[in-house]
Amino acid sequence: MIPKHSHVFLNMWSVCMDPRVWENPSEFRPDWFLKDNAENFDYIGNNFQFPPFGSGRRVCPGLPLAERMVMYLLATLLHSFELRLPKGEAVDLSEKFGILMRKSTPSIATPYQRFRSCNI
């Protein structure tokens, strides 16, 4: 029983890192979300196919915008810039536990413009 007026914290990190649900949960594998037709995700119902954005009545209101714009923004940045790490530094993908998912060792990449006439 959860007492009335209680604040409940849902630990999304543990949900997304549960080895009973995800095979090798610490690996980045976008195909987990593309198994079924990704265009037919039901974010409004109770199908929790994309847990970081919630579902049902509490779904993230910015989801439709993010769904349409993130790929265009990312493609533009990757096309216009080359990202380089400092010499001798490797990318460390280990995470630090908390309310927000953060890397335990932040990477600082320097963007170098690919084209002289870039309007970004």
Could you tell me which residues are annotated as the binding site for heme? 60
The DSSP annotation for 40-55 comes to G--TTTT--SSGGG--
Residues annotated in a binding site: 60
Rounded distance, CA 78 to CA 64, Å?
22
The CA distance from 108 to 36, in Å, is 35
Tokens of 61: 């209101």
